[in-house]
Amino acid sequence: MSTPAVHSLWTTAADRIPQIGAPKIEYGQLSPTLIIIGAALVGVLVEAFVPRRSRYYAQVFVSVVALCAAFAAVLGLAADGYGTTKAHIAAMGAIAVDGPSLFLQGTIVLAGLVGLFTFAERRLDPAAHGNRVDSFAAQAAAVPGSDAEKAAVKAGFTTTEVFPLLLFAVAGMLVFTSANDLLTLFVALEVFSLPLYLLCALARRKRLMSQEAAVKYFLLGAFASAFTLFGIALLYGYAGSVSYARIAQVVDGSVTDVNPALAGTMGNDALLLLGGALLVMGLLFKVGAVPFHMWTPDVYQGAPTPVTGFMAAATKVAAFGALLRLLYVVLPGMRWDWRPVMWAVAIVTMLGGAIVAITQTDIKRLLAYSSIAHAGFILAGVIATSKNGVSSVLFYLAGYSFVTIGAFAVVTLVRDAGGEATHLSKWAGLGRRSPLVAAVFAVFLLAFAGIPLTSGFAGKFAVFKAAAAGGAAPLVVIGVISSAIAAFFYIRVIVLMFFSEPKPQGPTVAVPSPLTMLAIGLGVAVTLVLGVAPQYFLDLATQASVFVR
Amino acid sequence: MEKLIALLIAAPLLGAAVLLLGGRRLDRVGHWIGTLLSTASFVFGLVLFTDLLGRNAEHRTLIQHLWTWIPVEGFQADVTFRLDQLSMTFVLLITGVGSLIHLYSVGYMEHDERRRRFFGYLNLFLAAMLLLVLADNYLLLYVGWEGVGLASYLLIGFWQHKPSAATAAKKAFLVNRVGDMGLSIAIMLMFTTFGSFAFGPVFGHVDGASQGKLTAIGLMLLLAACGKSAQVPLQSWLGDAMEGPTPVSALIHAATMVTAGVYLIVRSAAVFDAAPDAQLAVTVVGAVTLLFGAIVGCAKDDIKKALAGSTMSQIGYMVLAAGLGPIGYVFAIMHLVTHGFFKAGLFLGAGSVMHGMNDEVDMRRYGGLRKYMPVTFVTFGLGYLAIIGFPGLSGFFSKDKIIEAAFAKGGTEGWILGGAALVGAAITAFYMTRVMLMTFFGEERWKNQATRSPEAPSAEPAAEHRGETAEPHPHESPKVMTIPMIVLAVGSVFGGGFFSIGDRFLYWLEPVTGHSEGHSPVSAGEVTAATMVCLVIGVAVAWAQYGRKPVPAVAPRGSLLTRAARRDLLQDDFNHVVLVRGGEHLTRSLVYLDHTLVDGVVNGTAAGFGGLSGRLRRLQNGFARSYAVSMFGGAALLVAATLLMRAV
């Protein structure tokens, strides 16, 4: 295919009356997404046709192959220069293939892969009736505590549908970060949200809590989606188009011709402001920024822990990717309007997350509030509105996602009779009993706290540096104060693990399969590599920090 | 030839590493390894020395660049050595005297089971001291500076089982830290002023720097010199440092390390020459210390402490000379070298006496030892004649030159400094004669130990520690100890004359330090005559007091001055009242402030955030409807704020 031709088609389309023709799709450039979607569909067929006994292995195989292939495809595209010189807009203007989208897609695919390892873990729970079981309900449709559930457990059912669900979510996220028009954005949002709602409901233990979390997530997610959709509608009314480039041109005034059908609304700034704000709100909901964060602790706590880890990492990457693109590509012309508002959001998010985390007693809720505070730190980099702002956010997200999945994977290991022992009091003295696990967790906590020689420090430093250079020095000061507050509760957990007496009937640390070990090991390795030698990856992020318009 | 310079340091460093890491295996040969490597370093020094002699005076600076230590933009620290006439002089002194003292220690430390470790420390000291004098920039010099401080600490406290030795080591370390701070501040000032701390750039750009900065750098360097060279006001550690084994006192606390301050000042001549105020401070410190040390030396009954006072006083002479500028630099170094010979010889002699007297150090329990230790007596006696400046011996030439230079400073200052130096010469003659008479002449007070009064102050805990109450049997020391003493005595006798006749030393050192004659209001002959008069007075008074009358085995109460001098002129009392008590009050008030104010703020903040957290937490009530309301409110705020922004 010829790139200039596509380009000219897209630019001239705005000037002429659109002609209906066969859509031109660059399958090669969309291959990461297509591979994942294809594998997810294969996963559905596996559910339908492969005998129950073999499904788990088939699903794991398909998913791993698909994710590896997708990652290879991302690398191939990047090596071909699609991240830099050949960056352009594909699929009739719907998908941007550029540095940020490839970097984020790579991150999401890797997060999906590591998350998959924790999904596939089957050695932590004691075998039920001779069957190895994972973290997911035996039969999602069975009422908790009912005879049907018991029968399902006895029969050794497992919900292997989680693997295609994960793949669908990943596919949605891949599109979400690269969506280049508002409709694609919205469709991608729903494609990755719906599987996540489902996954949240599938916990094997504490099923009522899990289902409650899922319902809350679904209700609030639908509520947020409605805002998003409304915002999209208003923006269409303002610009007469859902294409990012077209809206951006209208915002900065380089296109003034009016669509006769929209003569009454086009160019009306109130619509732009209203629509922009609502759209941004929808994305802030997904990243978990205050005051749209309320779902986070409840859902993180209730969802099966592997799902929480995957969701916390990948959703954040995808949502920040979309937010970056929206603010840098669509709305740079109105940055004087959105920057002060985002300042306020970043400040309350950093402080709110850090302060409320102080009094948390459940490790999963603690990590949830920590993720809120981190959303605030990343927002500080977003606000920088500079190339360095983009690269620092990309770097931060990459480092953060591995730490998060690793940390939640460690949470799955600490168990007592009731499953995972998430109450903090049970973690007392863990360092004496299981020094290795406690030390690994301490590494993750130090990375969350942003201590030097961990990826957390390098990321935070890059983000704050970009923010300060972008004229947001007060934000950086508040960010540092929040980090200090946050350091308190991270270090407190370390103190609890290493300097408290172990409880007599405390939890035990289960020995996981190599899958979880791989997930945790990768987390530690990435955390240390990005912390000790961040420059290569910072350079990589800098190369990948230009959005195509 | 430059390549040899690193070997000078490498040999003793290797020795230190081998001896300290080698473990017990090396116990039987360790001392010989140490001595061998020290001698090897001396041989390298001699080779380099002959090479330098073969060159023209202006080509006698060798530079060896090893590697760049800290390669940072705008902050370049190199590991580079500079061997010129000044450092060459020190290299020969350090390795020469050092090797002799290694040899002596083989005998002296024979019965010590930690002898291998002792030699390891001695080698470590040599390496650090050589690094100090060979460094081509102040930062590298600082490494050596700290290294000798460490070696000194380890060696003073070598008999760590003695609480007094451990305390003395700690005291030396702490007092030296004050001086070290001075050096580090001086280096920082140099960096901010000149953008470098290498000798070349610093000395080359002195003209461009402001007077105030140069004075500050000079005073900080002086502070450093005071710490290492035991000059007033940082002199208090040297007397206590005599707790270390006597070879250590001879090598480190008499001949080499304590002269590092003099080296620092002479090396920084360019800075001091451009900062007359700092120079004046140097001369004042030198003059005060030379009198201070001499007075303390008069009152001590502990032979090593008397010699320590003498060391302080003699270094005072050197510092005084170094402060005189180009008039005095050469003579400061010359006195330093001759002093290295005779003071090391005196200490080794004292060690030999102690060796024969069951580690007794109280001179009131010596007496008449010349019959029993003839070699020690003769070598010690030659050292004695050298230090008091007996005509023809080393000290005569070097000290005389310093007194001359002090007068040549000119004006009132010249008279005051010259006068102080003259008085110092008289006191030196007095206390050294006193040491000589009490030790080698008079009755044999070590017989009939029963006469020893039970209330007698115990000067030497070591004697008690070793449980020696029996009457000592003085005897001459073995050859391995006497040979170094003989060599050093030869140096004490002929060194000064060799250097002075034909101004050999002057021509040798002048290219580095520069020299000027000054304008002396008195002629050289008159100064020499005055010095002789002072010498005779000092010796005569001492003879009247300690030669004619018998020396009481128990110290008499003495005058107020004597009692003060016995307590080192109240230096420790001063430090205690001013620094220790003051420090205690300061820390107590700071701790109080910390508890009330700082902790109050910190705990208050923590409690505040905790309370806030608890309150905010209640917003998270678990109801999806509340969450939705929060989102709706947030969205409304977001929209309102965005619209408002545009309106404003």
Chain B residues touching A360 at Cβ < 8 A: 617
Q: Chain B within 8 Å of A219 (Cβ-Cβ)?
A: yes
pLDDT on residue B448:
64
pLDDT score, position B452: 46
Residue B462 has pLDDT above 80, yes or no: no
**Nearest chain A alpha carbon to B648:** A337
A90, A159, A280, A282, A341 from A326: Cα distances, Å: 17, 37, 8, 12, 15
CA-based nearest distance A118→chain B, Å = 28
What are the phi and psi torsion angles at A59 (to 5°)? Answer: -65, -45
pLDDT of res. A17: 61
Query: Residue A97: what residue type?
Result: V
For every residue of A315-349, DSSP letters joined together read HHHHHHHHHHHIIIIISGGGHHHHHHHHHHHHHHH
Q: What percent of chain A has pLDDT over 70?
A: 97
User: Residues B566, B568, B572, B575: what is their CA dihedral angle, to the nearest 10 degrees?
Assistant: 140
Res A234 pLDDT > 80: yes
Q: Which residues of A touch B629 (CB under 8 A)?
A: none
CA of A467 to nearest chain B CA: how many angstroms apart?
A: 21
Q: What is the pLDDT of residues B610-636, one digit of tens each?
A: 888 888 888 888 899 999 999 999 999
- Residue A429 Rama label (left phi>0; alpha psi -120 to 50; beta): left
Instruction: Report how many Cβ contacts below 8 Å link chain A to chain B.
Output: 90
Residue A1 is predicted with a pLDDT of 41
Measured between alpha carbons, how far is B119 from B247 in angstroms, rounded to an integer? Answer: 11
For residues A45 and A127, the answer to whether their CB atoms sit within 8 Å is: no
Task: Name which of A169, A168, A121, A61 is nearest A520 in CA terms.
Answer: A121
In b/e form, how buried is each residue of A492-508, taking b as 16+ CB within 10 angstroms? ebbebbbeeebeeebbe
pLDDT, one tens digit per residue, over B387-401 is: 998 988 998 999 999
User: In chain B, what residues touch A331 (CB-CB under 8 Å)?
Assistant: none
Nearest C-alpha of chain A: how many angstroms from B622? Answer: 7
pLDDT tens figures, A485-533: 999 999 999 999 999 888 888 888 888 999 999 999 999 999 999 999 9
Q: Kindly report the CA angle at A279 between A275 and A284, in degrees rounded to 5?
A: 145
Mean pLDDT of A449-455: 93
Of B230, B495, B237, B468, the residue nearest B358 (C-alpha): B468
What gap in Å lies between CA A75 and CA A149, rounded to an integer? 44
Q: Which is nearest to A102 in space by CA: A119, A82, A118?
A: A82
pLDDT of B16: 93
Rounded Cα gap, residues A320 and A104, in angstroms:
9
pLDDT score, position B282: 95
Residue type, B507: Y
In whole angstroms, give the CA distance from residue B345 to residue B447: 27
Q: Mean of the pLDDT values across residues A442-448?
A: 96
Q: Which amino acid, residue B256?
A: T
| Residue B463: pLDDT band with limits 50, 70, 90 | very low
Per-residue pLDDT of A147-185, as tens digits, reads 999 998 888 888 999 999 999 999 999 999 999 999 999
**B27 pLDDT band (50/70/90 cuts)?**
confident
Query: In the predicted model, is pLDDT for residue B357 greater than 50?
Result: yes
Whether residues A219 and B613 touch (CB distance < 8 A) is answered with: no
Tell me the angle at which helices B411-440 and B276-299 cross, rounded to the nearest 10 degrees. 20
Per-residue pLDDT tens digits for B545-595: 888 888 787 778 778 888 888 887 778 888 888 888 888 899 999 999 888
pLDDT at B110: 86
A273 with B631: Cβ contact below 8 A: no
pLDDT at position A354 over 50: yes
For residue A253, the one-letter residue type is G
Of A93-107, B224-238, B265-279, B459-473, the poorest mean pLDDT is in: B459-473
Using the Cβ of A277 and the Cβ atoms of chain B, whether some distance falls under 8 Å is answered with: yes
Q: What is the reported pLDDT for B469? A: 53
CA distance A224 to chain B (A): 8
Judging contacts by C-beta atoms under 8 Å, the chain A residues touching residue B616 are 352, 355-356
pLDDT value of position B473: 81
> A220 and B630 in contact by Cβ < 8 A?
no
Residue B67 backbone dihedrals phi, psi, to 5 degrees: -160, 165
Q: B450 pLDDT exceeds 60?
A: no
pLDDT confidence band for A9 (50 / 70 / 90): very low
Most B CBs within 10 Å: which of A216, A338, A356, A483, as the mutation test of the B interface? A356
Q: A358 and B627: CB-CB below 8 Å? A: no
CA distance B209 to B548: 60
Confidence of residue B338 (pLDDT cuts 50, 70, 90): very high
* Interface with chain A: mutation pick from B630, B631, B632, highest number of A CBs within 10 Å: B631
Residue-averaged pLDDT of chain A: 90
Is-contact A455 A531, C-beta < 8 A? Answer: yes
Give the pLDDT mean for B312-321. Answer: 94
For A143, the 3-state DSSP assignment is coil
Rounded to an integer, the average pLDDT of A395-417 is 94
| Residue A462, pLDDT above cutoff 90 | yes
Write out the two tokens for B450: 């029963």
Among partner residues B617, B634, B642, which is closest to A291 by beta-carbon distance?
Answer: B634
Calculate mean pLDDT across residues B251-255. 85
**Pick from B397, B413, B227: which is nearest to B320 by CA?**
B413
Q: For chain B, give the mean pLDDT.
A: 88
**pLDDT computed for residue B460 by the predictor:** 44
Nearest residue in chain B measured CA to CA from A339: B642
Q: Kindly report the backbone phi and psi dihedral angles of residue B302, in degrees, each rounded to the nearest multiple of 5, phi listed first.
A: -75, 120
Q: Confidence class of residue B465 from pLDDT cuts 50, 70 and 90?
A: very low
Closest listed residue to residue B363, CA positions, set B345, B380, B378, B386: B380
H or E stretch covering B525: helix B524-542
CB neighbourhood size of B107 (10 A): 21
User: In this predicted model, what pLDDT tens digit does every residue of A391-403 receive, in sequence order?
Assistant: 999 999 999 999 9
Q: Is the pLDDT of residue A544 over 60?
A: yes
Between chains, do B642 and A281 touch, taking CB under 8 Å as contact?
no
Report residue A20 as tokens.
């209906």
Task: Categorize the per-residue pLDDT at B70 as very low, low, confident or very high, splitting at 50, 70 and 90.
Answer: confident
| Both tokens assigned to B394 | 């080393």
Say whether pLDDT at A317 is over 90.
Answer: yes
Smallest Cβ–Cβ distance between A337 and the set B622, B627, B646 belongs to B646
Query: Chain B: residue nearest A271 by CA?
Result: B643
Handedness of CA B264, B268, B271, B273 (dihedral sign): positive
- Closest Cα to residue A424, out of A490, A340, A478? A490
Confidence of residue B160 (pLDDT cuts 50, 70, 90): confident
Which residues of chain A neighbour B645 with C-beta distances below 8 Å?
A: 336-337, 340-341
Residue from B82, B104, B250, B237 nearest B170 by CA = B237
Residues A488, B68: Cα–Cα separation, whole Å: 41
Does any CB of chain B come closer than 8 Å to the CB of residue A72?
no
Contact A341 B642 (CB under 8 A): yes
Q: Which residue has 């912390």 as its token pair?
A: A531
Could you tell me which residues are beta bridge partners of residue A136? A203
Would you mind telling me the total number of residues written for chain B in this entry? Answer: 648
Specify the range with the lowest mean pLDDT, choosing from A10-19, B67-76, B289-298, B623-632.
A10-19
Q: In the structure, what pLDDT confidence band is assigned to residue A16 with cuts at 50, 70 and 90? A: low
Torsion of CA A325, A329, A331, A333, to 10 degrees: 150
Question: Could you give the percent of chain A with pLDDT greater than 90?
Answer: 69
Nearest to B628 among A223, A276, A340 (CB): A223
Residue A297: closest CA among chain B residues belongs to which residue?
Answer: B620
Q: Residue A442 corresponds to which tokens in the numbers above?
A: 């301490």
A286 min Cα distance to partner chain B (Å): 12
Which of A225, A359, A491 should be substituted to probe chain B, the one whose Cβ sees the most B Cβ atoms within 10 Å?
Answer: A359
